[in-house]
A and B are shown apart, each in its own frame.
Chain A
Amino acid sequence: MASKPVSDFKCQPNGENTPRRVSGSGRSCRYQSESESDGGPTAKSLAQLCSRDEDERAAALEELSQEVLLCLGSARQGSARLSKQTLLHLLRLSRSCPLQEVRGRATELLRTAQDQGVDVPRALASGPSAFIPAKEMLKEGPNQKVLIESFLSLGRVDHITMVMALHPSYLSCFLRTQHALLELDGPLPRHWRHYIALMAAARHHCSYLVQQHSAGFLEAGGEESWLSGLERAPTKLRSLQTLNKLLAHRPWLITQQHIQELVCPGADPPWSLAELIHAVVLMAHAHSLSSFVWGCGLNPEPDHIGGYTFEPPSPSHLPRSPHSPAHEDGRQELVDGAMEVEVLMKRMVELQQQEEECTQEEMVTRFERERSESIPTAVVRGAPPDLVLCLVEEPEFRYEDFAPRGEQAPPTMRAQDYSWEDHGFSLVNRLLPDMGQLLDEKFQVVSYLTYHRMAMHEGVDTYTLRKALWNYIHCLYGIRYDDYDYGSVNVLLERSLKVFVKTLACHPEQTTARVYHACWRHFRHSEKVHANLIVMEARLQAALLYTLRAITHYMR
Chain B
Amino acid sequence: MEKMSRVTTALSSNTISGRTMFCHLDAPANAISVCRDATQVVVAGRNIFKIYGLEEEQFVEKLNLRVGRKPSLNFSCADVMWHQMEENLLATAATNGAVVTWNLGKPSRNKQDQLFTEHKRTVNKVCFHPTEVYMLLSGSQDGFMKCFDLRKKESVSTFSGQSESVRDVQFSMKDYFTFAASFENGNVQLWDIRRPDRYERMFTAHTGPVFCCDWHPDDRGWLATGGRDKMVKVWDMTTNRAKEIYCVQTIASVARVKWRPERKFHLATCSMMVDHNIYVWDIRRPFIPFATFEEHKDVTTGIVWRHQHDPHFLLSGSKDSTLYQHMFKDATRPVDKANPEGLCFGLLGDLAFAAKESLISSDANRKPYPGGDRRYPIFFFKKPDPTEQFAHVSSALSVFETDLDSNRMDWFVKTAQLYLLSGKPFAELCDHNAKVARELKRPQVSTTWTMLRIMFSDPANLTAQGPNHNLSKLGTLPLMNSFSMKEMGSGMGTESRLERSKGDSRQDNIHLEPGNSHISNNNEENEETEGSDGQAEYMFGDAELDDDDLYSVEHDNQAEEQEYTLPQEAFQLRHEIMDNPSAPEHLQQDKADSPHVSGNEAEVTCLTPIESFSLISISQPLYSPHLPASFFCPIVREMLSYYAEQGDVQMAVSVLIVLGDRIRKEIDDLTQEHWYMSYIDLLQRFELWNVSNEVIKLSTCSAITCLNQTSTTLHINCSNCKRPMSNKGWICDRCHQCASVCAVCHHVVKGLFVWCQGCSHGGHLEHMMNWLKSSAHCPAGCGHLCEYT
Q: Is A21 an interface residue (CB 8 A)?
A: no
Q: Give CA–CA (A361, B72) in the complex, Å.
A: 8
B184 in complex: contacting residue of A361, A416, A421, A430, CB < 8 Å: A421
Contacts of B253 in A (CB 8 A): 422, 426
Tell me if A414 and B70 are in contact (CB < 8 A).
no
Q: Is B672 an interface residue (CB 8 A)?
A: no
Q: Give CA–CA (A484, B119) in the complex, Å.
A: 11
Quick one: closest B residue to A361, CB to CB? B70
Contacts of A359 in B (CB 8 A): 72
Tell me if B273 and A414 are in contact (CB < 8 A).
no
Tell me if B208 and A425 are in contact (CB < 8 A).
yes
Tell me if B122 and A426 are in contact (CB < 8 A).
no
Q: Give CA–CA (A28, B764) in the complex, Å.
A: 83
**Nearest Cβ on chain B to A379's Cβ, whole angstroms:** 37
Q: Is A272 an interface residue (CB 8 A)?
A: no
A 340-372 binary contact with B (CB < 8 Å = 1; else 0): 000000000000000001011101000000000
A555 in complex: contacting residue of B73, B76, B274, CB < 8 Å: B274
Tell me if B122 and A483 are in contact (CB < 8 A).
yes
Contacts of B94 in A (CB 8 A): 482
Q: Interface residues of A toward B: which range?
A: 20 to 34
Q: Is B298 an interface residue (CB 8 A)?
A: yes
Contacts of A556 in B (CB 8 A): 276, 297-298
Q: Is A10 an interface residue (CB 8 A)?
A: no
Q: Give CA–CA (A359, B184) in the complex, Å.
A: 30
Contacts of A484 in B (CB 8 A): 121
B 103-134 binary contact with A (CB < 8 Å = 1; else 0): 00000000000000101111000000000000
Residue of B72, B73, B119, B228 with most chain A CB atoms under a 10 A cut-off? B228
Q: Is B767 an interface residue (CB 8 A)?
A: no
Tell me if A483 and B46 are in contact (CB < 8 A).
no
Tell me if A482 and B73 are in contact (CB < 8 A).
yes
Tell me if B122 and A416 are in contact (CB < 8 A).
yes
Q: Is B209 an interface residue (CB 8 A)?
A: yes
Quick one: closest A residue to B253, CB to CB? A426
**Nearest Cβ on chain B to A435's Cβ, whole angstroms:** 14
Contacts of A555 in B (CB 8 A): 274
A426 in complex: contacting residue of B74, B272, B276, CB < 8 Å: B272
Tell me if A483 and B228 are in contact (CB < 8 A).
no
6 residue pairs A–B, Cβ–Cβ below 8 Å:
A416-B95, A422-B228, A422-B273, A426-B253, A426-B273, A483-B121
Tell me if B273 and A552 are in contact (CB < 8 A).
yes
Tell me if B120 and A483 are in contact (CB < 8 A).
yes
**Nearest Cβ on chain B to A490's Cβ, whole angstroms:** 18
Contacts of A55 in B (CB 8 A): none
**Nearest Cβ on chain A to B140's Cβ, whole angstroms:** 8
| Given A425-B228, A426-B272, A482 and B117 contact (CB-CB distance below 8 Å) | no
Q: Give CA–CA (A263, B209) in the complex, Å.
A: 31
Q: Interface residues of B toward A: which range?
A: 20 to 34
Contacts of B72 in A (CB 8 A): 359-360
B 278-299 binary contact with A (CB < 8 Å = 1; else 0): 0000000000000000000110
Residue of B46, B272, B273 with most chain A CB atoms under a 10 A cut-off? B273
Tell me if B298 and A483 are in contact (CB < 8 A).
no
Q: Give CA–CA (A508, B94) in the complex, Å.
A: 37
- Report A403-426 residues with CB < 8 Å from chain B CB: 414, 416-417, 421-423, 425-426
**Nearest Cβ on chain A to B209's Cβ, whole angstroms:** 6
**Nearest Cβ on chain B to A466's Cβ, whole angstroms:** 13
Q: Give CA–CA (A554, B398) in the complex, Å.
A: 43
Q: Is A427 an interface residue (CB 8 A)?
A: yes
Contacts of A430 in B (CB 8 A): 252, 273-274
**Nearest Cβ on chain A to B250's Cβ, whole angstroms:** 11
Contacts of B209 in A (CB 8 A): 421-422
Tell me if A483 and B95 are in contact (CB < 8 A).
yes
Q: Give CA–CA (A2, B273) in the complex, Å.
A: 24
A 361-393 binary contact with B (CB < 8 Å = 1; else 0): 101000000000000000000000000000000
Contacts of B208 in A (CB 8 A): 425, 440
Residue of A417, A427, A482, A556 with most chain B CB atoms under a 10 A cut-off? A482
Quick one: closest B residue to A444, CB to CB? B185
| Given A360-B70, A426-B252, A482 and B76 contact (CB-CB distance below 8 Å) | yes
Quick one: closest B residue to A421, CB to CB? B209
Q: Is B97 an interface residue (CB 8 A)?
A: yes
